[in-house]
Amino acid sequence: MVQDWLRRATFVDWFLLALRIAVVAVVGTGFVAGLLHPRYSRAEWFSFLAFGLTIGAIYALIALGYTMVYGILRMVNFAHGDVFMFGAYAACFSLLACNRAGILGPDPALSFLIATVVCIAVSAGVAVLAERIAYRPFRRGRSLAPLISTLGLSFVLEYSARGMFGAQNKAFPSMPAVDGIVAFAGFSVPRVQVVVVAAAVLTMVVLTLIVMRTRIGTAMRAVAEDRDAATLMGINVDRVIVFTFALGGALAGIAGLLYGLVFKQISFFMGFFLGVKGFGAAVLGGIGNIPGAMLGGYALGLVESLGPAAFLEGLGVSSPYQLRDAIAYTMLVMVLIFRPRGLLGERLSTARA
């Protein structure tokens, strides 16, 4: 097998092999140097891990919206990050209303439920509106019109939010029930991180049940496989597409609520950065693949959280945590170079055979 590869290898193959060796050498050197000269305690490493799982869960929820729409339409909804942003604002104003009504502190479960329902409704509504305005008129076309349309809609949503909510960052209401510290296996974890991870996992389980165990989920999988054949079988494709957008919007709304609980502030421009991260997570896991989006989100979150301490510190990089985004996107580029279909993606010829 090695001889066969040597006989067929081109200059590009040799370049990619050298790039792989260089990446492994750099990462390995930094990792070993970090182990030989440890700067962090076990408690701090556990804190990095917990935060990586927390932000990874949020990335995964956003990525699921991208990957479901792509799986159905083979198009990318670049306005999805702003759907997430509107969900965060809806949750924020819901919790503020609960606080004014005097139920945020005495009944946090009811307040959380109200905020969840409102953010799901608002985000799902914005997502359906995006489908109706930016996708449906161009669905039959093969041009770049849907992509350009969603980019334009993204700016419209962002600056509409700026006009309605202001340009300044808005403080997210604090919920006393999720404040504080939880002891786990001898380590301390912020309670809000435990809540976020648990809520995200529960949401993903519900999504899996919807897609795999319900009639509408079966219809979604049929349309994703072959839209024309699904139409011939009597499936209402338009209804399935609208439901897919609404479901992805609902997941983005929940992600907005969880993000606000963790970071305590939101802004009208947050959808752009988090949307790019969510899209990156979807591509990393294999866009169009639901388990891949989940895996990609957690992988991106863990690399962002652990990467600076794991090997940048060992390489002697000053202020390594300012480079965490660079680490995440470098990993994404490496995965796309060496495995273009993503971690769990299928080859196109296999998927469409």
- Is the pLDDT at 93 greater than 60? The verdict is yes
DSSP H/E element including 187: strand 187-190
| Residue 11 placed within a domain | no
- Is the pLDDT at 34 greater than 80? The verdict is no
What does the H/E/C string look like for 255-320? HHHHHHHHHCEECCCHHHHHHHHHHHHHHHHCCCCHHHHHHHHHHHHHHHHHHHHHHHCCCCCCCH
For 15, the token pair is 């370049």
Q: Are 86 and 257 a contacting pair, CB within 8 Å?
A: no
Mean pLDDT to the nearest integer, 288-315: 84
Rank 172-176, 193-197, 227-231 by mean pLDDT and report only the highest: 193-197
> What is the percent of the chain where pLDDT is above 90?
33
| Residue 76 placed within a domain | yes
| Residue 226 placed within a domain | yes
Query: pTM of the entire structure?
Result: 0.89
User: In terms of C-beta density within 10 A (0-12 exposed, 13-18 middle, 19 or more buried), how is residue 178 classed?
Assistant: middle
Mean pLDDT to the nearest integer, 129-150: 79
Integer Cα distance of 154 and 149 in angstroms:
9
For 140, the token pair is 């039959």
Give the total number of structural domains in the chain: 1
| Residue 326 placed within a domain | yes
DSSP H/E element including 170: strand 170-171
What pairs with residue 194 in β-bridges?
Answer: none
| Residue 9 placed within a domain | no
Residue 194 sits in a domain of what CATH number?
1.10.3470
| Residue 20 placed within a domain | no
| Residue 340 placed within a domain | yes
127 or 39, which is more confident = 127
Give the domain extent around 197. Answer: 38-351
| Residue 32 placed within a domain | no
Query: Whole-number mean pLDDT of the chain?
Result: 85
